[in-house]
Amino acid sequence: MSPDPFGPGMSLCLTCGLCCDGTLFRKVPLEPKEGERLGARVRLSEEDGSLCQPCRALSARRCGVYDDRPSVCRRFRCLALEQLEKGQLTEDEAHELVGEALARRRALAEVMGFDDEVHALTLARAQVAAGLLEGAALTALERLSRTLFFLNLTTTPG
Ligand code: SF4
Ligand code: SF4
């Protein structure tokens, strides 16, 4: 969501977008006034005022409100990005990890029979919660979930 525009993570995030498009998160908590400031550029939850994902400000894996993005977005680092910035992962390794997540999400959507990968993932999660997902779709969701679990692990408060 938030790398330095001149840092090593920017090219990684521009190939990814998983923390903005509804794959890793469903909502982004906002500080007071942030929702008001962002207005119709984002979609807010009527329930709790948080920013709903997939984020309306995301376009072609770019944040359309980058200079004005919420504080949580500024702070967030997935583990791949954090390790890349600390030199604990090479750029190739970080891109490989993100690429694996994207490929596994695509594979799930194909098994589920949808073009919209985030919609397929949302549906698969709902079905697994209801005990309805099985076979190849369940296997594909489990494979994706393992990669996302690693990406989502973060030592930076978000
Ligand atoms: S999940 Fe990580 S690599 Fe992907 S856009 Fe978010 S911070 Fe960047
Ligand atoms: S405001 Fe920008 S950084 Fe935050 S979730 Fe939306 S697209 Fe991502």
Ligand 2 centroid–CA 64 distance in Å is 8
Phi, psi of 120 (to 5 degrees): -60, -40
Shortest-distance Cα residue to atom 4 of ligand 2: 73
Q: Is the CB of 51 under 6 A from ligand 1?
A: no
Structure confidence by residue, pLDDT tens digits, 37-92? 999 999 999 999 999 999 999 999 999 999 999 999 999 999 999 999 999 999 99
Q: If pLDDT is split at 50, 70 and 90, which confidence band does 10 have?
A: confident
Ligand 2 centroid–CA 40 distance in Å is 13
Neighbours of 33 (CB within 10 A): 8
Quote the CA–CA distance of 55 and 77 in Å, as a whole number: 17
Q: Is the CB of 148 under 6 A from ligand 1?
A: no
Ligand 2 centroid–CA 20 distance in Å is 5
